[in-house]
Chains A and B, each alone.
Chain A
Amino acid sequence: MAALPPYASTGQKAWYWGFRLICVLVFFFLIFPLLVIVPLSFNPLPYFTFTPGMLALEADAYSMVNYNDFFTNIDWQNALYNSVRIAPVATILSVSLGTLAAIGLSQSHVPFRGAIMAVLISPMIVPLIISAAGMYFFYSRIGLQGTYVGVVLAHAALGIPFVIITVTATLVGFDRSLTRAAANLGANPVRTFFKVQAPLILPGVISGGLFAFITSFDEVVVVLFVGSAGQKTLPWQMFTGLREQISPTILAVATILVVISICLLTTVELLRRRSERLRGMSAQ
């Protein structure tokens, strides 16, 4: 929206500022729920609202007790351990398979490209509850239900569309003459891939990997059905906590997760800008 011209009428001025106010309110709606849990997570009392002491900014109205609970409670620590054990393995699986396939899909002559793409993207489109139900039925048939391997495979499948999408997007702007030049200079396809193609598509691969990681790390529906008590992840523990009795520790965990998301988001944004710069596609 261009700046307000000096000759704007009163009505235009009112509309201009009114519109901005609406937008500010929407931004507030988007961000407020995330911000409000941060101070609430320091509330030592088991209420989910601001105590008078907190509003008066008294130091002793804030406490780390919820964080202490998170780091000492065996349930939460187990859940954290499971999350850390599942998400990276699932990510590695989806990134390695997904990157290969994305390179294959970006070649100029691929038979059944549309159909293959539709199948590969489908885990993102099919509602999670349906994926979870299907996987529960099928994995219990083949003995993977309630196992670590089952959860990792399921999460890898859910992360793949994100890898495919981000990596193919990076490959769209890829200059094919670079690989031809490398081949011309005597590099074999493997060397060409690692020395020429890989560094250029790396930002796309990493952000695809981060998407896949966060998909697995935040995923709860599928793990709820495919996993058993031994694979209880952080989101699962939060889900049980929220459904049964909501303990203030959840707010501490939520705050930690918000901080993690901020880090991931920053990384992805930096990578995206770097990739656009590298490929000479300056931000338009």
Chain B
Amino acid sequence: MANGDSVSGPILAADGRPLRQSLARALRLQKLRALMLIAPLLIFILVTFAAPIADMLFRSVENAIVPNTLPLTVAALEDWDDASGQPPGEKVFAALRQDLLAAVAAKAHTKLGSRLNYEQTGVASLLRKTGRRVKRMEEDGDLAAQFAKIHKSWADPETWATIKRFSSAYTSGYFLNAVDAKLGATGIEARPENERIYIFLFERTLLLSVVITVACLLIGYPVAFLLATLPMRTSNMLMILVLLPFWTSLLVRTSAWKVLLQQQGVINDTLVFIGLVADDGRLAMINNQTGTIIAMTHILLPFMILPLYSVMRTIPPSYMRAAKSLGATDWTAFWRVYFPQSVPGIGAGSILVFILAIGYYITPELVGGTSGTFISNRIAYHISSSLNWGLAAALGVILLVVVLVLYWLYDRIVGIDNVKLG
């Protein structure tokens, strides 16, 4: 191609067009064909997977229910100064009455109540009670007094401040809640001590994940080293012992640990039998952090061993021999020569195990009890039990960001293309 310019006039392809053009066209076609092959899957993933994630991001800030249910009230509250310490004027109460009448007809006031209850406890019952009585109000009388008669909270400026604070279509309320804070009268403030839970849960999730990663590394490294240095035939045989748990259902492994670790389980029975533990002093190894750590270390261990092994396989054994022949002891040869070369494997395995551990749900749920659960258990709780979807989404987004940062690191260190399975 470089010669093309030095010859007088462009080189022509068989169809008479300049070769350069012809080649560019071929390249374009090739790119197009590749993209056409990828397109169906890309669209599939975008619809079935990326859109749900985007929906979750949206839900974590969405707050349309307040302006949609109380449109007139929100507009009327614009003029009210929430720092005045006084409840708003009659105009706002009239708007509230109209909004509530429409909301009760559409049965939307209870949903609004549970939304605002996340920000100020008591609003749910306030709205339920008001919803029942709002029809019987006299339109011409003193509305503020009538509302205050139904529930004294309507005379409390704090209630109105909450409505005003969360009257926009988007809110940071869920995210603040997810980090144990809230939007108070004076801006962002920490929640009272007894309501703080999420920071603690995030910390516990991170801490337990680190413990599990370190445990996997400590017991996975020797095995990977053995497998990488044994002759191929033997190591292939032993590899099956690593791959079998990898291929076995997560629930099978979790139920195995549930059976083994019980107070009346095999391990405790054995310990009692050999006399290490008294019959009335059986160890509590399940429904606590110990259970989570043991079971998850077992479940994630193959994800540590496999990347370690694939890196260690590429370290030439002659390096260690060379180090020893130069006078290094076994330990020096390992520590100064072999270990530094296995660090990429340690990085890959650790990040992989950590990413997987941090988002685990099933195993902590089944063997973790209350002290061994992760943030993901809380997310599941908010989706299916407390129905606070916005908070679940906000917690999910925070977890997702942590995982994506680690994923990016993993991509930088290992390269996504180099992920190997088995």
Contact = CB atoms under 8 A, between A and B. Distances in A.
- Whether chains A and B associate is yes
A272 interface: yes
Nearest to A150: B48
Given A30-B298, A257-B252, A261-B248, A251 B259 contact: yes
Interface stretch (B89-97, B109-117, B377-385): B377-385
Interface in A20-35: 20, 22-23, 26-27, 29-31, 33-34
Nearest to A15: B330
A1 B255 CA distance: 35
A65 interface: no
Among B27, B247, B384, the most chain A Cβ lie within 10 Å of the Cβ of: B247
Interface stretch (A45-53, A68-76, A180-188, A194-202): A45-53
B249 interface: yes
Interface string A220-259: 1100010000000001001100110010001100100110
- Pick the most buried of A15, A37, A153, A207: most chain B CB atoms within 10 A of its CB: A37
B42 A33 contact: no
A110 B35 contact: yes
B37 A100 contact: yes
Contacts of B301: 29-30
B52 A242 contact: no
Contacts of B13: none
B55 interface: yes
Contacts of B46: 119
Nearest to B28: A109
A262 interface: yes
Interface centre among B52, B250, B269 (most CB of A within 10 A): B52
A139 B49 CA distance: 10
Nearest to B37: A104
Interface residues of A, number: 98
Interface string B206-233: 0000000000000110110110011010
Grouping DSSP codes into helix (H, G, I), strand (E, B) and loop, the B interface class, with mixed when no group exceeds half, is helix
B50 interface: yes
A119 B42 contact: yes
Interface of B: 27, 30-31, 33-38, 40-42, 44-46, 48-56, 59, 219-220, 222-223, 225-226, 229-230, 232, 236, 238, 240-245, 247-260, 262, 264-266, 269, 298, 301-302, 313, 317, 330, 355, 358-362, 365-366, 376, 379-380, 383-384, 389, 392-393, 396, 399-400, 403-404, 407, 411, 416-417, 419-422
Given A104-B38, A133-B379, A138-B56, 18 more contacts: A1-B225, A29-B219, A36-B256, A40-B266, A47-B264, A50-B269, A101-B41, A107-B33, A127-B361, A129-B399, A130-B56, A131-B53, A137-B55, A139-B52, A165-B420, A235-B249, A238-B251, A254-B256
